[in-house]
A and B are shown apart, each in its own frame.
Chain A
Amino acid sequence: MINEQIYRRFNHTVAACFVIYFLFPEYILGIQREYTILLFWIFIVAVDYLRLNKDLKVLGMRNYENNRIAGFVWFATGTCLILGLYELNLVPQSLAIATIIMAAFTDPLIGEANQKFGDKWGIGLGLLCSFLIYQLIIGVLFYSIIGSIIAVASERPKIKWFDDDLAMQLIPILVLTLLSLIDFSPNLPQEILGGDL
């Protein structure tokens, strides 16, 4: 048997590869790249619809997900929203990339640390991981510190209708984007990737 917990964690970390979207050309097979976000999201929702209503077997589901929206839908929704907001010029590319990678790696790390060492380690390692990712990609301490605190705080509440997979992406990126618009805030690098595949 495939270890379902490892499978779930690997699925989560692989989601960081969504950032390859920023290297895509403007048109993919004749379709404007923005529409690929929508198509991908519809595909993910369809898979979960079939899981919930047509008994499609999906490996790695937790027991509490049997009758509610799966974590992968929440994560994909968060990522697709970020990519959509980027295309609408509402969030900077640097924050979009950092937040997607941060959420993909920090959430499973917190989960593992909570399970193996306890909640305090979960919070500590979560803060460290998210801080390092923000700092390496954005390179501005102000945003890295605030972003990491907000990301870990967003992971804590367990709310049925607003999963942490979505919260860990949307809340930090919205707060950091709003902060970057305030006069006293340090400059935020906007575009860090420019090339096309």
Chain B
Amino acid sequence: MKITRIYIYLMYIIVIFSIIMFISEEHYIIASLLFLGNMIPGYAMATSLMEKNGN
């Protein structure tokens, strides 16, 4: 389970890094798509992780 959590954090880092790279290269449409497409599942995933912490 610990590895899974590390993997999930890694996924967040990959998304943030990718968005930053596309913004820095001025490819705003792709950066926006990556942000919008990952926003809802990313938020739901974070909520799910926090619920686990709460328990």
Contacts and interface: CB of A to CB of B under 8 A. Distances in A.
A104 B37 CA distance: 9
Nearest to A137: B29
Contact of A14 (B14, B21, B25, B52): B14
Contact of A7 (B8, B27, B30, B33): B8
Interface string A59-70: 100000000000
B38 A14 contact: yes
B11 A10 contact: yes
A160 B6 CA distance: 31
Contacts of B44: 3, 6, 9-10
A1 interface: yes
Interface residues of B, number: 26
Contacts of A104: 37
A68 to B, nearest CB: 22
Question: DSSP class of B's interface residues: helix, strand, loop or mixed?
Answer: helix
Given A9-B44, A23-B25, A197-B21, A14 B11 contact: yes
Main secondary structure of the interface of A (DSSP, over half): helix
Interface string B1-32: 10011001001001101100110010101100
A133 B37 CA distance: 10
A125 to B, nearest CB: 13
Contacts of B41: 6, 9-10, 12-13, 108
Interface centre among B15, B17, B27, B49 (most CB of A within 10 A): B27
B45 A7 contact: yes
B34 A17 contact: yes
B48 A7 contact: yes
A124 B49 CA distance: 31
A182 interface: no
Interface of A: 1-3, 6-7, 9-14, 16-17, 19-20, 23, 59, 97, 101, 104-105, 108, 133, 136-137, 192-193, 195, 197
21 contacts: A1-B52, A2-B4, A2-B48, A3-B44, A6-B48, A11-B11, A13-B37, A13-B41, A14-B11, A16-B33, A16-B34, A17-B18, A17-B34, A23-B21, A59-B4, A101-B30, A101-B33, A101-B34, A133-B33, A136-B29, A137-B29
Given A16-B38, A20-B21, 5 more contacts: A2-B49, A10-B38, A12-B41, A16-B33, A193-B30
